[in-house]
Amino acid sequence: MAVLCCFLWGSAFPAIKGGYALLHVGKSDTAAQMLFAGWRFLAAGVILLVLAGLSRKPLVPPRDQIARVVGLGVFQTTLQYVFFYVGLAHATGVKSSIMNATGAFFGVILAHFLYANDRLNRRKVLGCLLGFAGVVVVNLGGKGLDFDFTLLGEGFVVIAAFVLAAASIWGKTISQKMDPMVMTGWQLGIGGLGLLAIGYVGGGALHGFDARSLGLLAYMAGLSAAAFALWSLLLKHNPVGMLAVFNFLIPVFGVLLSALFLHEPVLAWKNAAALALVCAGIWLVTRKGAAKAAA
C-alpha cells in the first residue's frame, strides 16, 4: 500500500502540468490554479465520505475533534496546495518531484523537537546534508555555480513540503481518535472548499472542459482520495520511521512519469545526481527506524 501511495503521488506531478495545458491555465494565473486544485480535492473528499457512508462508518467527527479536522483541512490541503500548485506552475515536473522529497527531512527535524525518542544524530544529520546537496545539484544552472531557483517555483515547492510534513504529524494524532477515511474525507473536502474560495475571489476561471480534461480531473481526485486515505491508515497503525523509507519512491516515480508524459530530460546529469543524493539521504535518515520496526 505504501508503494501504491508513492506511485499515485508521483503521478500527480505530470498530471497537474498536463491539466494546466488542457484547461489553459497560465503560469501567472494563480486564481485558476486554485480552482483546479479546489475541484480536485473537493471531489476527492466527497468520494471518501460517500465510501465511508456506504461502509456504515460514522461520518460526523467527534465533537472534540471537529475544530482540529477543520484546521487540518485548511493547513494540510488549502495552505499546502496554494504553495504546491503555484510552485509547480513555475518549475518543471522533474525538479518539483525531487525538491518535494525534502519534506522527509523536515519531518525528521520536526520529530527531533516533538518526540524525546526521535532525536537527531550523526546519521540523520548526514542524511539531511545529502538531501540538501541534492536540492543544490538540481538547481544548478547551465553556468555551473549559478542557481536556477525562484521563490515562486522551487521555493514554493519546498515550503509546501514543509507544511505537509508538519500536517502529517498532526493528522497522525487526530487519526487515533477517529476513522482515518472519514478524517481524510473531511480534511480534503474542507481544504478543497478553501482553495475554491481563493480561486473565485481572485477572479479565476477554467476553460476547455472536455472528455480529456474531465477524465484527468477525475483521475486526480481519485488518486488523492486513495493515496491520502491509505497513508492516513498506514500512519495510524505503523511507526512513522518504518513508512518514511518508502517516500524516496515519490521522486523516483515523479521523475520517470514526468519524463514519460512531459518529455522532460530525465537523463540530465544533474537530475540523476540529485535523485541519487536525495534517495541516499532519505535511506540514511530512516534506516534505523525501519530496522527497529521490523525487529
pLDDT in tens, 183-208: 999 999 999 999 999 999 999 888 88
Kindly state the average pLDDT of the residues 155-178: 87
Burial readout 53-79 (b: 16 or more C-beta within 10 A, e: otherwise): eeeeeeeebeeebeebbbebbbbbbbb
pTM above 0.85, yes or no: no
Ranges of each domain in the chain: 2-294
What per-residue confidence (pLDDT) applies to 290?
A: 45
DSSP state of 77: I
What per-residue confidence (pLDDT) applies to 48?
A: 94
Per-residue pLDDT tens for 28-59? 788 998 999 899 999 999 999 999 999 989 99
Bigger pLDDT: 201 vs 293: 201
Q: Between vectors from CA 209 to CA 207 and to CA 213, what angle results, nearest 5°?
A: 115
Q: Between vectors from CA 28 to CA 25 and to CA 32, what angle results, nearest 5°?
A: 40
Question: 132 pLDDT exceeds 90?
Answer: no
Kindly state the average pLDDT of the residues 98-120: 75
What per-residue confidence (pLDDT) applies to 78?
A: 94
Contact 131, 190 (CB under 8 A): no
